């Protein structure tokens, strides 16, 4: 069986500069796959390519082996891909619940949306702030709302761009448990994150990106001690 998600030799340039230079990686159903690397490595750009917000210059994105490189983001979302953004994209003046409802209605129509939104709010521990305006929340909770908006679509592939930034230790611990349970349900989770203890504790496999190239891939314990990884971070 092909991996659920596969990026093949992805190249993206901005002006004359290569942001991604032949990146290949996979994310499997039922696993948390980490994507780490210093700032500017190309992690968010790869997410844009995977979810259809940016066309690569060369390379392919495959879902279940099917080439979806030419499909737009809405089509990919219907196929079961959802993402969060490093820079939060919440509707600040809407309530937490309405932020989820707007997203849920795209996926399941009005009738089921309320039930879906409420189930996800409960799962994320956000029921108590459901009626608060999104822009009144501390960052840690706002990150969870962003995750909730992705979860209401019931994704098979979930792309998370620095979801734990701004979370405190307790929130991060709870978040790690959430990621494990999503993977246990069969979701392919692709996690971009700077919190190394989260990455190392929750990921089944880690890919390290530096200057637009994958410099190491493997189980977290091995990647952590890889010399090219240490060099990438020291060179930041």
Binding site for ligand ADP (CB under 6 A): 14, 19, 37, 39-45
Determine how many CB atoms are found less than 10 A away from the CB of residue 174: 13
Please choose which of Mg ion, ligand ADP, none residue 41 contacts, taking the beta carbon within 5 to 8 angstroms, the exact cut-off set by kind: ligand ADP
With respect to ligand ADP, which residue has the nearer C-beta, 22 or 40? 40
Tell me the DSSP string of 213-224. EEEEEE-HHHHH
Between CA 166 and CA 164 the distance in angstroms is: 6
Residue 86 makes contact with Mg ion by CB under 5 A: yes
Q: Bridge-partner residues for 34, per DSSP?
A: 191, 206
Between CA 171 and CA 16 the distance in angstroms is: 41
Mask for 16-55, x = binds Mg ion (CB under 5 A): ---------------------------xx-----------
Min separation Cβ 148 and ligand ADP, Å? 22
Please choose which of ligand ADP, Mg ion, none residue 40 contacts, taking the beta carbon within 5 to 8 angstroms, the exact cut-off set by kind: ligand ADP
Please choose which of ligand ADP, Mg ion, none residue 34 contacts, taking the beta carbon within 5 to 8 angstroms, the exact cut-off set by kind: none
C-alpha separations of 230 from 208, 218, 223, 224 in Å: 10, 15, 9, 8
Q: Which residues in this chain contact Mg ion in the complex, by CB under 5 A?
A: 43-44, 86
């Amino acid at each position: 069986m092909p991996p659920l998600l596969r990026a093949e030799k992805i190249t993206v340039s901005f002006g004359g500069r290569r942001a991604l230079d032949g990146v290949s990686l996979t994310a499997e159903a039922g696993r948390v796959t980490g994507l780490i690397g210093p700032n500017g490595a190309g992690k968010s750009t790869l997410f844009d390519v995977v979810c259809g917000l940016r066309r690569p210059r060369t390379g392919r994105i495959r879902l279940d082996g099917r080439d979806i490189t030419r499909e737009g983001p809405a089509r990919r979302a219907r196929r079961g891909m959802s993402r969060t953004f490093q820079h939060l994209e919440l509707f600040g003046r809407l309530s937490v619940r309405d932020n989820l409802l707007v997203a849920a209605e795209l996926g399941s129509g009005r009738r089921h949306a309320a039930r879906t939104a409420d189930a996800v709010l409960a799962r994320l521990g956000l029921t108590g702030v459901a009626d608060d305006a999104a822009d009144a929340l501390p960052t840690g909770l706002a990150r969870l709302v962003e995750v909730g908006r992705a979860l209401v679509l019931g994704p098979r592939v979930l792309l998370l761009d620095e979801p734990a930034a701004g979370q405190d230790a307790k929130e991060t611990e709870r978040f790690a448990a959430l990621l494990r349970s999503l993977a246990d349900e069969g979701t392919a989770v692709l996690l971009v994150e700077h919190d190394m203890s989260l990455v190392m504790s929750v990921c089944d496999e880690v890919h390290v990106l530096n200057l637009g190239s994958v410099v190491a891939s493997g189980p977290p314990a091995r990647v952590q001690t890889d010399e090219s990884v240490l060099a990438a971070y020291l060179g930041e």
